[in-house]
């Protein structure tokens, strides 16, 4: 079955009553490239990191403000799942239906089994607007933070807010 893409996302957002604005730009598969296109977009922008546990039976999407440094070691200690590693392109396609450089929480429309758990950095709770790729890295989709939460709740994937930055020590 072909994964859902950008054009499948917008009707879902419309159905949920989510207001959004789309900013088109050249491909931005990395934060370094995306920064150039984001500079005039009034929003908090995020890094999206797809991880798996040591056994490979649990997968996590980590969302953090793009200027923050993520502490994978701190998350490993809290989860007690062994070493966390970046998920392979095959797993990325299987669970989120996207390729590397297109990772986004909107890809959860492809996680029909609601397998992926999200960790969202708590600093994003103060964001008025938030931006993610709409399953393609040639656009940025901005919505209010409240509307983003409406989308997450619609997916029924589990998520939690926590401190994910390097500054956090246990």
Q: What is the mean pLDDT of residues 45-59?
A: 94
pLDDT grade, residue 166 (50/70/90)?
Answer: low
pLDDT single digits (tens) 101-125? 999 999 999 999 999 999 999 999 9
Q: Is the predicted pLDDT of residue 46 greater than 70, yes or no? A: yes
Q: Is the predicted pLDDT of residue 146 greater than 70, yes or no? A: yes
Instruction: Determine contact, residues 54/81, Cβ cutoff 8 Å.
Output: yes
Q: Please, what's the largest Cα pairwise distance for the chain?
A: 43
Average pLDDT, the chain: 93
Q: Is the predicted pLDDT of residue 170 greater than 80, yes or no? A: no
pLDDT for 168 equals 43
Strands, DSSP E only, in 66-168? 85-86, 117-121, 129-132, 139-144, 159-162
Pairing of strands 117-121, 59-65: parallel
Lowest mean pLDDT among 66-70, 78-82, 91-95, 156-160: 78-82
Q: For the CA atoms of the chain, what is the radius of gyration?
A: 15
Instruction: Give the residue extent of every domain in the chain.
Output: 6-162
CATH number for the domain whose boundaries are 6-162: 3.90.960.10
pLDDT single digits (tens) 122-141? 999 999 999 999 999 999 99
What is the pTM (predicted TM-score) of this model?
A: 0.93
């Amino acid at each position: 079955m072909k994964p859902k893409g950008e054009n499948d996302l917008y009707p879902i957002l419309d159905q949920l009553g989510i207001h959004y604005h789309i900013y088109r730009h050249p491909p931005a598969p990395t934060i370094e490239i995306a920064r150039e296109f984001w500079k005039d977009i009034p929003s908090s922008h995020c890094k999206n990191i797809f991880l798996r546990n040591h056994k490979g039976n649990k997968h996590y999407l980590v969302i953090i403000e793009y200027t923050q440094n993520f502490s994978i070691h701190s998350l490993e200690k809290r989860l007690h799942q062994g070493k966390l590693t970046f998920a392979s392109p095959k797993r990325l396609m299987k669970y989120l239906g996207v390729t590397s450089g297109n990772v986004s929480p909107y890809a959860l429309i492809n996680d029909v089994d609601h397998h992926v758990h999200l960790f969202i950095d708590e600093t994003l709770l103060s964001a008025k607007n938030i931006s993610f790729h709409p399953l393609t890295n040639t656009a940025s989709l901005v919505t209010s933070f409240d509307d983003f939460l409406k989308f997450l709740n619609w997916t029924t994937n589990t998520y939690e807010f926590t401190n994910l930055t390097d500054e956090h020590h246990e």
